[in-house]
């Protein structure tokens, strides 16, 4: 699905004021900001200012924080030569927008800035200081056309349309939205967090009892680096035992990704910003989940279950336990499932939804914008067609 809208009509960012409506005080502050382009790896080498900005972000994004992003860079995720627009007020870092500029060599009709995401980071929200948010985003947009390669459009994959960053981005240009969808979320402040029916919950309780009859059923939660390596390996082994292992997509099949995964989770556990939950039967993990935290947000990042025990729904049982724990954590206001739309498991448990889309925005003339829209529509149509052909072939061979 794709749609072109202006900032005033975007369903999930209503109430946006145009930049000209900001106060003189805000404009004066904005004039004191400076922006530059630099390799993200250079900033990762001295992450203190980056970490400080993450703590002040108007909208948290754990995937762009140094512990996660630094390991992702080292693993080469999201491509080579990732840079960032860095905005400062004096020496204070107030904005960070990582990405790359792509041109004709990447089959783009015009030069395009693409905000940084990769398969392990389902969110492109830049880090913006809450006390200088509007001015920082304005400085970023003013600087984008001056990047090496002179991009004429900007692409923001996987934008959370319900958040303050979306409202700020929408102040600056027309938006064309691709891939519009909703993904499950846990609105922890709501009393009715679960959407599962009473009948479904009754069946899950029955499955838990039956599983407990087969041995000693325990739920372990690891929230610091003690026993972290063993818990991470438990997750990796459970994942590798299932369909990802058979397809050759399990993390354990790639030494670089395994290293990235262990480094990231260990670093965040060391800061109290991750948790590993394990559902075990007689000491053997049947399901594992990794949740990441930043500010008042959490991300249900990774989950895996033992397919040999699928009749007992161990992954769903663990998700149910985790839902209760996260709902009781007063620090957390929103948990992003990180799931695809219409996920067969989490969509039936969590009633909340986050609106997500890929945004394309013009930085120069409408002709360039129109050409980029057409090229992206064609690219997505080709991908969709290829997936449909693979699906039909798989059914024929089965």
Per-residue model confidence as pLDDT tens digits over 200-224: 889 999 999 999 999 999 999 999 9
DSSP type of residue 339 = P
> Which residue from 339, 329, 340, 260 is spatially nearest to 295, judged by alpha carbons?
329
Alpha carbon 60 to its chain centroid, in Å, reads: 10
Mean pLDDT of 29-51: 89
> Which residue from 333, 291, 61 is spatially nearest to 193, judged by alpha carbons?
333
Inter-residue contact 241 to 225 (CB < 8 Å): no
Which token pair is 116?
């940084």
Helices (H), 160-275: 164-169, 198-213, 228-240, 243-247, 255-270
* CA dihedral sign, ordered 113, 116, 118, 121: negative
pLDDT at site 47: 93
Task: Measure the CA angle with vertex 155, ends 171 and 109; round to 5°.
Answer: 125
Is residue 59 packed enough to be buried (19+ CB in 10 Å), middle (13-18) or exposed (0-12)? buried
- Identify the residue with better confidence: 7 or 322: 322
Q: Which helix (H) or strand (E) holds 50?
A: helix 48-56
Secondary-structure percent of the chain, ordered helix, strand, coil, rounded to 5: 45, 25, 30
Per-residue model confidence as pLDDT tens digits over 283-307: 999 999 999 999 999 999 999 999 9
pLDDT at site 184: 94
Is residue 35 packed enough to be buried (19+ CB in 10 Å), middle (13-18) or exposed (0-12)? buried
* Beta strands 153-160; 112-115: pairing state: parallel
Cα dihedral 386→390→392→398 (10° resolution): 180
Q: Mean pLDDT for the chain?
A: 88
Alpha carbon 150 to its chain centroid, in Å, reads: 27
pLDDT tier at 198, thresholds 50, 70, 90: confident
Cross-strand pairs, 60: none
From-to residues of CATH 3.40.630.30 in the chain: 2-182+355-397, 190-332
Per-residue model confidence as pLDDT tens digits over 249-263: 999 999 999 999 999
Region of poorest pLDDT, from 25-39, 183-197, 277-291: 183-197
Cα dihedral 213→194→302→50 (10° resolution): -140
Task: Measure the CA angle with vertex 23, ends 19 and 26; round to 5°.
Answer: 85
Rounded Cα–Cα distance for residues 278 and 306 (Å)? 11
Task: Measure the CA angle with vertex 220, ends 219 and 222; round to 5°.
Answer: 155
Fold classification of 190-332 is Aminopeptidase (3.40.630)
Which token pair is 279?
């559902």
pLDDT at residue 79 greater than cutoff 80? yes
Rounded Cα–Cα distance for residues 283 and 121 (Å)? 31
Q: Which helix (H) or strand (E) holds 73?
A: helix 66-74
Per-residue model confidence as pLDDT tens digits over 316-336: 999 999 999 998 888 899 999
Rounded Cα–Cα distance for residues 27 and 136 (Å)? 11
What is the DSSP secondary-structure string of 264-302?
HHHHHHHTT-EEEEEEEETTEEEEEEEEEEETTEEEEEE
pLDDT at site 251: 96
pLDDT at residue 197 greater than cutoff 90? no
Rounded Cα–Cα distance for residues 90 and 98 (Å)? 20
Percent of the chain having pLDDT more than 70? Answer: 87
> Which residue from 176, 76, 171, 173 is spatially nearest to 120, judged by alpha carbons?
76
pLDDT at site 127: 98
Rounded Cα–Cα distance for residues 237 and 397 (Å)? 29
Give CATH superfamily name and number for 2-182+355-397: Gcn5-related N-acetyltransferase (GNAT) (3.40.630.30)
Inter-residue contact 273 to 294 (CB < 8 Å): yes
pLDDT tier at 360, thresholds 50, 70, 90: very high
């Amino acid at each position: 699905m794709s749609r072109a809208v202006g900032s005033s009509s975007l369903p999930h960012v209503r109430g946006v004021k145009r930049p000209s409506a900001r106060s003189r005080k805000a404009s004066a502050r904005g004039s004191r900001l400076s922006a530059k382009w630099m390799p993200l790896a250079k900033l990762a080498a001295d992450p203190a200012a980056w970490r400080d900005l993450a703590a002040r972000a108007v909208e948290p994004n754990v995937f762009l924080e140094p512990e996660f992003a630094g390991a992702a860079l080292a693993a080469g995720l999201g491509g080579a030569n990732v840079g960032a627009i860095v905005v400062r007020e004096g020496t204070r870092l107030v904005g960070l927008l990582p990405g790359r500029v792509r041109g004709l060599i990447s089959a783009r009709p015009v030069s395009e800035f693409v905000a940084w995401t990769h398969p392990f980071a389902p969110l492109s929200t830049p880090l913006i200081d809450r006390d200088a948010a509007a001015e920082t985003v304005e400085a970023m947009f003013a600087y984008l056309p001056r990047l090496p390669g002179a991009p004429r459009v900007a692409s923001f994959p996987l934008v959370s349309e319900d958040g303050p960053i979306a409202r700020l981005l929408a102040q600056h240009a027309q938006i064309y939205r691709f891939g519009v969808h909703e993904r499950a979320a846990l609105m922890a402040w709501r009393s009715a967090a679960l959407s599962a029916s009473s009948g479904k919950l009754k069946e899950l309780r029955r499955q838990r009892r039956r599983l407990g009859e087969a041995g000693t059923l325990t739920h372990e939660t690891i929230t610091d680096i003690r026993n972290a390596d063993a818990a991470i390996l438990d997750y990796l082994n459970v994942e590798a035992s299932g369909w990802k292992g058979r397809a050759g997509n399990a993390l354990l099949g790639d030494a670089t990704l395994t290293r990235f995964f262990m480094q990231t989770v260990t670093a965040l556990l060391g800061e109290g910003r991750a948790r590993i939950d394990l559902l075990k039967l007689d000491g053997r993990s049947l399901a594992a989940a990794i949740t990441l935290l930043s500010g008042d947000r959490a991300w249900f990042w990774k989950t895996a279950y033992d397919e040999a025990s699928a009749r007992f729904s161990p992954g769903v049982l663990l998700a149910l336990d985790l839902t209760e724990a996260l709902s009781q954590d007063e620090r957390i206001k929103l948990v992003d499932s990180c799931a695809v739309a219409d996920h067969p498991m989490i969509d039936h448990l969590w009633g909340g939804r986050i609106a997500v889309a890929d945004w394309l925005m013009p930085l120069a003339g409408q002709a360039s914008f129109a050409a980029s829209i057409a090229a992206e529509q064609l690219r997505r149509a080709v991908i969709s067609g290829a997936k449909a052909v693979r699906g039909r072939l798989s059914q024929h061979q089965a």
